[in-house]
Amino acid sequence: MSEDFVYLASASPRRRQLLEQIGVAFELRPVEIDERRRPAELPADYVVRVARAKAGKCWTSVAGGGAERPVLAADTTVVLGGEVFGKPGNRAAALDMLATLSGRTHTVITGVAVRFGEELKTALAVSEVTFRATTAREREAYCATDEPLDKAGSYAIQGLGAVFIEYLGGSYSAVMGLPLLETSALLRRFGIPAWLDGEPGRP
């Protein structure tokens, strides 16, 4: 592996794909934390706090092994009418979310955190996504694929759920789960190059 790599505190295949897209080498170090939203916590504060917590827990783990590379973490949520839509617990919850999003515009908020030693930097990306009106039959067919079950808001913009999306304002990669503009800028501050800065890294 290249010496210029990060520890990725995530098991998300979308985040792996996006890092590979910009030539950033990484080593997977997923962590589990309590991701429940606190009472009255603003959605933007929530995703940044969770991203920071993931980065912190991962850093504690890798630093114990003498790590000398930064840790990257992120968290994404969907917001509509002040309500936060995380990952659905089951198909019924996914169907409810998709019905609520049908024909409406919602906000996708992604927080990113990079930690190295005692230094921790964060960034935030906010996007707007409009769903076309969907039918109950379409939503049921989509949920039958199981694609929505591990996605915030119960859909994947890069997957089959793309057929529901009428408009995107903001960052496509942020809606996927890792805003590449903000992420590459953060990593550059820690000396991790993207493809613009040299040869693409591969894990």
H or E element, residue 150:
none
- DSSP for residue 40: T
Phi-psi region of 170 (alpha: psi -120 to 50; beta: other; left: phi over 0): left
| CB contact set of 120 (below 8 Å; sequence gap of 6+) | 52, 55, 56, 113, 114
**Which residue among 4, 34, 45, 75 is the active-site one?**
75
Among candidates 68, 70, 75, which has minimal Cα distance to 53?
75
Which backbone phi and psi does 4 adopt, to 5 degrees? -95, 85
Query: Is 34 tagged catalytic?
Result: no
Active site residues: 75
